[in-house]
Amino acid sequence: MPSATESIDAVLLPTDGSDGALAGAKRGIDLAVAADAEVHALSVVDTSDFDDLSLVLDTDAVADERDALEADAETAVETVATIAQERAPDLEVTTAIERGTPFQCIDDYADAADIDLIAMGTKGRTGLERIVLGSVTENVLRTVDIPVLAVPPVAADSSVTPETTENVLLPTDGSDGATAAVDWGVHLADVFDAMVHALYSADTSRLTMGSSPSTILSELERTGETVLETVRERAKASDVSVTGTVANGPPARVILNYADEKAVDMIVIGTHGRSGFERHLLGSVTENVVRGADVPVFCVPMPTQE
């Protein structure tokens, strides 16, 4: 049985009505159905837009623009609600419209509504390139203390269900941040009856001059095997199939290459690795994985210190 830490009872789906946002909402709905959770569709009217408009438009024009944005927000949440209820008629759906700075409103709503998971696209209305992580999504990843399922546009039509999710990639470096993701990765693999692919990257790219590459690599590989054994034990305790691999190279590249080669359906990764110091710092490996992945990336923050 999953612990309370890994339970999913409420899923938040932020949306601005864009295709990118809908990609995130659809995959979030998939997870909600699999976990028998309720869904919250949220659209935020960015009030900073009005400050900018007031400098160039008269009061009536600003009011008209505000009304238009409010109408767009209403349409956005109703669209998500319709998709959710078509997917599962018995799914409990709540819609909400907030006003303010999007990522802050998302964080505040998640706290107030006791949300367990946020699912959102990696780009919204302002996204121009696949490689550009949407600013709202990036800020949410940096600030919230619950998992975020980051969904790239290319995953819009790739369902996350027990029938379609066979392989869950769980990169780990043995750090506290990575360890926080292990339980979630195993739990999700259990939910979807999928195999866990535990992956450790022995990164020799930062070796200092004068070090012995072969000796350091051997030590890293031994460390990797120890870390992977911990994941194997956790998976076996939950009766989840698991395989472990130690690979060599820069972690983000290793993770993305492995995901492509093994037809991984989801990546579960901690938002802080060994170089993480602050809650508001998104680990560079995680950021690069989210930016480059073709599949949903389930980002797990380090537990909040009491």
If one looks up domain 167-300 in CATH, what number appears?
3.40.50.620
For the chain, domain boundaries: 4-155, 167-300
Is the pLDDT at 4 greater than 70? The verdict is: no
Q: What integer is the mean pLDDT of 188-209?
A: 82
Residues 60-112: tens digit of each pLDDT: 776 777 888 889 999 999 999 999 999 999 999 999 999 999 999 999 999 99
Q: What does the pLDDT read at residue 131?
A: 36
If one looks up domain 4-155 in CATH, what number appears?
3.40.50.620
User: Could you give the CA distance from residue 20 to residue 37 in angstroms, rounded to a whole number?
Assistant: 23
User: Could you give the CA distance from residue 299 to residue 269 in angstroms, rounded to a whole number?
Assistant: 5
Q: What does the pLDDT read at residue 50?
A: 60
CB atoms within 10 A of CB 212: 10
Residues 230-249: tens digit of each pLDDT: 999 999 999 999 999 999 88
Q: What integer is the mean pLDDT of 270-292?
A: 68
Under the banding of pLDDT at 50, 70 and 90, the label for residue 173 is confident
User: Could you give the CA distance from residue 138 to residue 103 in angstroms, rounded to a whole number?
Assistant: 9
CA dist list (Å): 199 to 154, 251, 268, 279, 283:
24, 9, 11, 24, 17
Is the pLDDT at 281 greater than 60? The verdict is: no
Residues 22-41: tens digit of each pLDDT: 999 999 999 999 999 999 99
Residue 179 or 193, more confident: 193
Is the pLDDT at 210 greater than 70? The verdict is: no
Residue 203 or 168, more confident: 168
Q: What does the pLDDT read at residue 2?
A: 43
Query: For residues 31 and 119, is the Cβ–Cβ distance under 8 A?
Result: yes
Is the pLDDT at 44 greater than 90? The verdict is: yes
Q: What does the pLDDT read at residue 177?
A: 76
Q: What does the pLDDT read at residue 175?
A: 81
Q: What does the pLDDT read at residue 12?
A: 98
Is the pLDDT at 141 greater than 60? The verdict is: yes
Contacts 24+ apart (CB under 8 A), 77-80: 77/15, 77/41, 77/42, 77/43, 79/15, 79/17, 79/22, 80/13, 80/15, 80/22, 80/25, 80/29, 80/39, 80/41
Domains 4-155 and 167-300 share a fold: yes
